[in-house]
Amino acid sequence: MKYTSVDKIGSYLLVDIDVTYQDAVDEIITGVSKLFDAMANRKLVAEEGDAVRYFDGNGKTALLIDDFVSITTLEIGDTYGDNLAATTSYVLYPKNADEPRNMIMLKDGSFTPGVQNVKVTGKWGAFAETPADIELAATIVAAGILNNQLKGNQAKKSEAIGSYSVSYGDDKGFADYDRAIKTIDSYKRYSI
């Protein structure tokens, strides 16, 4: 999933990005989107299609899993996914679909203890669509990377983010950059 677009970057920079450079800018957008996922320690926006993931059963009625937007099927079986059987007797948490969900609770029984014995098919990510603040943050950072690559760049200073460098021509650009990084930090998931 891409968290911004060529048009949004052009609008932020107040320029028309030439068609011959759009593929290169699209690569920057993809890189920034992946970088934001890494910085947040989670997949922020779900891809279009369903995917399968396996989890370890814990012997309890509730199982914490990766962030998801929707679950299509839930199957529980023996170790390493043997003898899987589908169930529809579960509830997704939190109930509010506009918040990142990451827990399944069985209505009847518990998740059989085992290794990779819970198969979940669904859309994986914290949000179904890119939140406006993440889109703006991606636009700002991608614009800074693009600005850094321009010949004759008159940047005040440059800063590294991941394997990229960003630069802006004025203090406003760096203030925007700082807000963009704080935005992504606010979505960070911490592991204990």
Total structural domains within the chain: 2
pLDDT in tens, 46-68: 999 999 999 999 999 999 999 99
Do 13 and 66 share a structural domain?
Answer: no
Q: For residues 59 and 82, what is the distance between their CA atoms, to the nearest angstrom?
A: 17
Q: For residues 40 and 71, what is the distance between their CA atoms, to the nearest angstrom?
A: 22
Do 149 and 120 share a structural domain?
Answer: no
Do 57 and 19 share a structural domain?
Answer: no
Do 162 and 99 share a structural domain?
Answer: no
DSSP 115-168: SS-EEEEEEESSBSS--HHHHHHHHHHHHHHHHHHSTT---SEEEEETTEEEEE
Do 119 and 59 share a structural domain?
Answer: yes
Q: What is the reported pTM? A: 0.89
> Which two structure tokens, joined as six digits, stand for 83?
């003898």
- Domain extent, residue 81, equals 51-124
Do 119 and 99 share a structural domain?
Answer: yes
Do 133 and 118 share a structural domain?
Answer: no
The confidence score (pLDDT) of residue 156 equals 66
> With bands split at pLDDT 50, 70 and 90, how would you rate the model's confidence at 153?
low
Does a structural domain hold residue 142?
yes
Does a structural domain hold residue 177?
yes
Q: What are phi and psi of 93, to 5 degrees?
A: -125, 150
Do 156 and 137 share a structural domain?
Answer: yes
